[in-house]
Amino acid sequence: MIDPRFFHTSEPLLVSQVINELAGRVLAEGSQSEITRVADLTDENLDSAVVFVSDPKFIAEGLKSLPSVCIVSKKVAEKTNLTSVLPEVTILESNNPRADFATLADLLHKSIAEEVSYGNTQKSAIAETAKVHPSAVIGESAIIEDGVTICANSVIGPGVHIGAGSTIGPNVSITHALLGKHTRISGGARIGEAGFGFVQVDGKQRRIPQLGRVIVEDEVEIGANTTIDRGALNDTIIGAQTKIDNLVQIGHNCRIGRRCAIASQTGISGSTILGDDVMVGGQVGLADHLTIGDNAVIVARAGLMKDIPAGEKWGGYPAKPARQWFKEVAAVTKLATPGKG
């Protein structure tokens, strides 16, 4: 769901307006007459929402409820009996469903952080025991709980909630985010900025609105100059007691489990999931949409392109089980050593 603390939603659009705006081929006309929001296929409630489907497998996984409008690719239209899986839904075939979805997202939702002026703390809830440096900027409707410290030149966006006992270092910016208790954010960190989402339209890259949040649970520590992007539609989540080093990049829609440790200069691509108690060495790169099992270990400078089962240790580039990687390195070293090949 689009969080009204962070996004304004415009008046509903008639389905007829949507059809005219997108100029797609109408495959079926549904029973709902308007859309009120964009949504992800996995949302519990899709009533009056518009979704897009670019791959038949997502339809095969099933929907929890039915949207008002579904935008599909030609591939989906050809391979799926859409009227049976999406009864009473308006179905539009599009040459670029992601771009059309972005168009509707732009029409329906606007980031409050990009619309309101900062510094009007009269509309914010700042606890008496909180310590806010005079140079810090607090957005409207922000909530700062007891014992929070906000250091010099930090910017807290509208609607942001910072839990009790947390410390926000200097020159930090936090937007579209909810922080738990006793979190510690070091200087220069950027939490909740727009994720790296683009779609090519007419030979140009067009930004896809990022309408999710960042959820940081209790006792998380985030290092200096680390960036954590908000979700595209779902949330980016950092589990309780996880520790993140300096200069780490976490992409949109990532879910990091509890008690993870992520070393410096690691980059985690969008929609990757880390289980609980995962350890990630320095300068590791993770591809998007991966799943890393509980208690897995990723060796420093690994380049990961596959899922890792729980409890396994992987390393190398491309990453593989560490025991195999060590054997291969030893074999190559032996071949390259004079007199030992």
Rounded average pLDDT over 288-315: 97
Q: What is the pLDDT of residue 245?
A: 98
Which residue ranges make up each domain of the chain?
A: 7-112, 176-325
Q: For residue 252, indicate whether it is catalytic.
A: yes
Q: What is the pLDDT of residue 338?
A: 80
Q: Does the 176-325 domain belong in CATH 2.160.10.10?
A: yes
Do 7-112 and 176-325 fold alike per CATH?
Answer: no
**In which band, very low, low, confident or very high, does the pLDDT at 191 lie, cut at 50, 70 and 90?**
very high
Pairing mode of beta strands 90-93, 25-28: antiparallel
Structure letter (DSSP) for residue 117: P
Which residue among 133, 176, 252, 289 is the active-site one? Answer: 252
% of the chain at pLDDT higher than 90: 77
The fold for domain 7-112 equals 3.40.1390
Comparing 325 with 264, which gets the higher pLDDT?
A: 264
